[in-house]
């Protein structure tokens, strides 16, 4: 049993970063158990429904073990004793993992997802799971199992999705670090809408085994999907990536990951291109204005910024991405769902301008068609590589708007308002999909707020497998722009109690 001698309470700051917590732990100013119990108390009072399952008993055992090891002079890893949460699409040993799916509401895995295991091996104390839309397939976070998660900056709006609970938990001070996933902006959109930092790694850098979807027990990694962190500062993203990155165990017999160092570290050393004006992906003027103001500040601080982007057609790239993406949504279908979708698609009119019809047809792409699409993707990726011969980073929007109001209409009936005009909800796939399709790393940080006070971020996109470059530019930008401001009313104080959900 670890020594439970009371120590001074953790710092009064409502939103310490993971790095600050780790430094306090290392210096003996607090313990893992003290930090854990404070976070558990905050979760109990959370009005946003961000953390939906909590493992109090095992987390306290792990925190006490981390404290005992530190007292004995042992250091487990880069996250030694850090309490944190993970998105509810990652399997966690002994802790419910539902991915918002009613049939999985009581699914308790026997083993951790690979990424979760790496966090634990680095010393992290995983105490809970954060909410996600059903099958992690929406930019809003609500599901029949746990209900809706709200945005800590404005509860009438969504925090984003599908890592919406992740971003809301970080923004609300419920966790210093989160494990999310991203196939259509699922890390980047919540980071943008919730005012936190997020990193979508290069595809393949972090193994996906144990991620839902697919189904429990699936072994193969999915095309396009990535696993990455959310946090309150860029340094914590980099720290988490250093733990997560690396080949799966069966490939580690021969392969190692040695990421290239950043192309620069000081702001003036980066060659920066921008892609903000795009008729096919028009961004709301208030959002674009915040991005431009931030770029002006970075330029004044010495950044070399030009309005240049890859010789890539936005519309073509998004079309290729959409057709690559949609078949992945059918991975978890049963025979009846497949038959129903086939019947719907067979009844569609052949209208090339009907976006809904094109999206539904894309769910039934044949393998020979996928091969052609993959070749088209590779040709587009060559153009991205050519751009990165002259530039180190591309700055572009995360999506069309700031955080949107909750909308419970059927997916294809929803709209988003851009400069006062409704646009199809599905058009939000464009800016995230543009980057996902090319398999590139993208770091999002808060840049400022709209006149309504909603956070705005942007994507800092780096060359393939040069995640250190996008992270380094984000860190340099953060040093000029500051860390995103917390929501108006962070949870503080209160009694500590066990949570069982």
Mention every residue, 6+ apart, whose C-beta is less than 8 A from residue 263: 269, 270, 392, 466, 469, 472
Q: What whole-number distance in Å separates Cα of residue 122 and Cα of residue 129?
A: 18
**What DSSP line would sit under 374-441, residue for residue?**
HHHHHHHHHHHHHHHHH-SEEEE-SSSSSSPBP--S-GGG-EEEETTEEEEGGGGGHHHHHHHHTT--
Alpha helices in 134-187 (DSSP H): 164-171
Of residues 191 and 365, more confidence is placed in: 191
Phi, psi of 165 (to 5 degrees): -65, -35
Q: What's the confidence (pLDDT) of residue 382?
A: 98
Give the pLDDT confidence of 205-229 residue by residue, as tens digits.
Answer: 999 999 999 999 999 999 999 999 9
Q: What's the confidence (pLDDT) of residue 498?
A: 31
Give kind and range of the element (H or E) at residue 230.
strand 226-231
Residue 12 above 90 pLDDT?
no
Q: For residue 434, how many other CB atoms are within 10 A of its CB? A: 30
Q: What's the confidence (pLDDT) of residue 3?
A: 35
Q: Which of 370, 435, 426 is nearest to 397 (CA)?
A: 435
Q: Is residue 325 within 8 Å of 363, Cβ to Cβ?
A: no
- What are the structural domains of the chain? 18-481 (3.90.1300.10)
Q: Is residue 215 within 8 Å of 135, Cβ to Cβ?
A: no
Q: What's the confidence (pLDDT) of residue 357?
A: 67
What are the structure tokens assigned to 370, written together? 């996928």
Among the residue ranges 6-10, 18-22, 293-297, the one predicted with the least confidence is 6-10
Average model confidence (pLDDT) across the chain: 91
Between 234-244 and 114-121, two packed helices, what is the crossing angle to 10 degrees?
A: 110
Q: Which of 418, 409, 411, 462 is nearest to 440 (CA)?
A: 462
User: Count of H helices and E strands in the chain?
Assistant: 14, 15
- Which residues are catalytic, by number? 87, 162, 186
Q: Is residue 361 within 8 Å of 325, Cβ to Cβ?
A: no
Dihedral (CA of 37, 42, 44, 45) sign: positive
Residue 361 above 80 pLDDT?
no
């Amino acid at each position: 049993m670890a020594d439970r001698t009371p120590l001074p309470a953790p710092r009064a700051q409502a939103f310490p970063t993971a790095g600050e917590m780790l430094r306090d732990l290392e210096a003996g100013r607090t313990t893992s158990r003290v930090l854990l119990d404070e976070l558990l108390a905050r979760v109990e009072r959370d009005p946003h429904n961000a953390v939906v399952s909590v493992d109090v008993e095992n987390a306290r055992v792990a925190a006490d073990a981390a404290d005992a090891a530190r007292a004995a002079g042992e250091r487990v890893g880069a996250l030694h004793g850090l309490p944190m949460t993970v998105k509810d699409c990652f399997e966690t040993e002994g802790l419910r993992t539902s991915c918002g799916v009613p049939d999985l509401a009581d699914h308790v895995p026997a083993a951790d997802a690979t990424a979760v295991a790496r966090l634990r091996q680095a010393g992290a104390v995983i105490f809970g799971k954060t909410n996600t839309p059903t099958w992690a397939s929406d930019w809003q976070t609500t599901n029949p199992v746990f209900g809706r998660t709200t945005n800590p900056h404005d509860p009438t709006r969504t925090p984003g999705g599908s890592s919406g609970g992740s971003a809301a938990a970080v923004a609300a001070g419920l966790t210093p670090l989160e494990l999310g996933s991203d196939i259509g902006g699922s890390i980047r959109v919540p980071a943008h809408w919730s005012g936190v930092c997020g990193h979508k790694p290069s595809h393949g850098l972090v193994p996906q085994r144990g991620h839902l979807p697919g189904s429990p027990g699936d072994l193969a990694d999915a095309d396009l999907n990535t696993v990455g962190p959310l946090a309150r500062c860029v340094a914590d993203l980099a720290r988490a990536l250093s733990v997560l990155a690396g080949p799966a165990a069966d490939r580690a017999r021969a392969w190692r990951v040695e990421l290239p160092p950043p192309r620069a570290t000081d702001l003036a050393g980066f060659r920066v291109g921008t892609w903000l004006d795009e008729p096919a992906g028009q961004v709301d003027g208030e959002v674009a204005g915040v991005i431009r103001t931030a770029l002006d500040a970075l330029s004044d601080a010495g950044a070399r910024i030009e309005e240049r982007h890859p010789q890539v057609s936005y519309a073509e790239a998004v079309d290729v991405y959409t057709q690559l993406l949609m078949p992945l949504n059918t991975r978890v279908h049963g025979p009846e769902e497949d038959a129903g979708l086939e019947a719907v698609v067979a009844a569609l009119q052949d209208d090339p301008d009907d976006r809904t019809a094109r999206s539904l047809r894309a769910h039934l792409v044949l393998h020979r068609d996928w091969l052609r699409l993959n070749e088209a993707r590779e040709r587009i990726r060559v153009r991205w590589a050519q751009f990165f011969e002259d530039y180190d980073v591309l700055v572009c929007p995360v999506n069309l708007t700031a955080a949107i109001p909750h909308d419970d209409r059927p997916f294809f009936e929803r709209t988003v308002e851009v400069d006062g005009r409704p646009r199809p909800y599905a058009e939000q796939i464009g800016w995230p999909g543009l980057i996902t399709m090319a398999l590139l790393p993208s770091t999002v940080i808060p840049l400022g707020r709209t006149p309504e006070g909603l956070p705005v971020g942007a994507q800092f996109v780096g060359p393939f497998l040069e995640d250190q470059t996008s992270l380094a530019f984000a860190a340099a930008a953060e040093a000029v722009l500051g860390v995103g401001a917390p929501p108006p009313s962070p949870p503080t104080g209160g009694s500590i109690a066990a949570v069982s959900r």
